[in-house]
Amino acid sequence: MYRMEGYSSPPPGLGAQPTPFDGEWAPRPLSGTIPHMPAPRRPIVLVGLMGSGKTTVGSALADRLGRPLWDGDAKLLEVTGMTPAALGAERGLDVLHGLELEVMSLGLAHRPAPVVAAAASVGLDPRLPGLLLEAWTVWLRVELTHLVSRLQRDDGHRPLPGGDLLATLREMERVGDPLYAQAADLTLDATRTPPAALVQRIVEAMPFPDA
């Protein structure tokens, strides 16, 4: 269900322009949102294909650093009341991907600066490196055959394709890898490395002080 050739029309812009949350899809207020203030720290963003462990590693990293976790799938559910799979089926992939990019952008602006676990679809948008200029970005890479094994145990919240999952992942990798490589400050092989070890490597590599 991921469309690799791009959007049929550009997703709504960010900032002052209309966003995917306008009108019918205006979000419910986010619980616990803190008013904007000067950012003492940069947001940390985890990117990678679906099933790469962004939520698991992000949650452990947020706990370690004392930062809030901004999980793309959880926030999408919070503001729309629907899972990514349900949104993709009901509203189409263009709407889903636009919302996922907007959710990530909201996370980047959130204060205190969170750990953001971004949706895989943000890697299909050529604007990604520019959006992450002020963030510190970690790319979690996983061997595709290993990802297929993980995703076959999915609980149904992801918009998985009905056909050849490996072929879909290969195409997402082809499109997304150059953008992830351009945006990433740190790249980690997360194929078999335990989440705790990945968190330790991230903390050791961080170029700025944190909790």
Q: Give pLDDT tens digits for 88-101.
A: 889 988 899 999 99
Tens digit of each residue's pLDDT (9 = 90 or more) over 131-166:
999 999 999 999 999 888 878 775 555 555 556 888
Helical packing angle, 165-183 and 144-151, nearest 10°: 120
When the pLDDT of each residue in the chain is averaged and rounded to a whole number, the result is 81
pLDDT at 158: 56
- Comparing C-alpha atoms, which of 132, 157, 111, 137 is closest to residue 47? 137
Tens digit of each residue's pLDDT (9 = 90 or more) over 34-49:
344 333 479 999 999 9
Q: Is the pTM of this model over 0.85?
A: no
Q: Phi-psi bin for 184: left (phi > 0), alpha (psi -120 to 50), beta?
A: beta
pLDDT at 162: 59
Q: Taking residues 26-37, report their average pLDDT.
A: 40
Q: Could you tell me what percent of the chain has a pLDDT over 90? A: 58
Whether 195 shows a pLDDT value over 60: the answer reads yes
Lowest mean pLDDT among 18-27, 118-127, 163-172: 18-27
Task: Decide if 139 contacts 54 (C-beta within 8 A).
Answer: no
Rounded Cα distance, 200 and 203, in Å: 5
